[in-house]
A = this chain, B = another copy of it.
Amino acid sequence: MSELLNPERPMRADARRNRLLILQAACELFASDRPEVQMDDVARRAGVGVGTVYRHFPDKQALMGELVRERFGFFNETLADALADEGADPFEALAGALRTTAASMADDAATRFAFTSGGEGVFAHAAEEMDAFTGLSSTLVARAKAAGELMPEFEAEDIPMVMCGVCAAIDKRHPGWDWRHHLELVLRGMRAGP
């Protein structure tokens, strides 16, 4: 265990700057078509020593986890926006939010890399944001059900599962795969029907 930064007190200006440089370097490297990104690479591109990377992020998983955490932050904003629009059709509000979250993943190769090639620790790092996500999607699901537009067997807890499935379809190794098509299929399955 290295000399991790104390998250309580405010960072010194150079530390705050380094943290940003590291995150930015990680994004660029994870997004660029891999030949396996190393911590040394991240440090070099950020213009800092490896030790500094470890001072900000206890290990590689935490570095990846930060990308996941930030993206869940965006997911939550998206769901909150959908909730705020009281007049909208409840099913379309949910569907639209899911389309937006999926599209944001499709645009973010770095976080996709973190999602798939990081393990348990990556998600542990984003636990708080993931809880918020569950809360927000429960409300959206409840509204759509109340409107009779969502099939009753569908639960809010199914959302991370199906979205994870849709994410699996965003895979540069399979250029034929169409995640939008996959998502529409799932939405079709979710819709209440005879």
Contacts and interface: CB of A to CB of B under 8 A. Distances in A.
Q: A interface, how many residues as a size bin?
A: 20 to 34
Contact of A185 (B157, B158, B173): B158
A161 B189 contact: no
B182 A158 contact: yes
Interface in A151-194: 151, 153-154, 157-158, 160-162, 164-169, 171, 173-174, 176-178, 181-182, 184-190, 193
A161 B120 CA distance: 24
A152 to B, nearest CB: 13
A123 interface: yes
A96 to B, nearest CB: 18
Interface in A90-122: 116, 120
Given A157-B176, A193-B193, A185 B162 contact: yes
Contact of A182 (B116, B165, B167): B165
- The quantity of this chain's copies bound in the complex is 2
Q: Is the interface of A mostly helix, strand, loop or mixed?
A: helix
Interface of A: 116, 120, 123, 151, 153-154, 157-158, 160-162, 164-169, 171, 173-174, 176-178, 181-182, 184-190, 193
The 9 closest A-B pairs by CB, nearest first: A165-B165, A189-B189, A188-B189, A185-B189, A161-B177, A168-B168, A164-B168, A161-B169, A165-B168
29 contacts: A116-B116, A120-B173, A123-B173, A151-B188, A154-B185, A157-B176, A158-B178, A160-B174, A160-B177, A161-B174, A161-B177, A161-B178, A161-B182, A162-B165, A162-B169, A162-B182, A164-B168, A164-B169, A165-B168, A165-B182, A184-B189, A185-B186, A186-B186, A186-B189, A188-B188, A188-B193, A189-B189, A189-B190, A193-B193
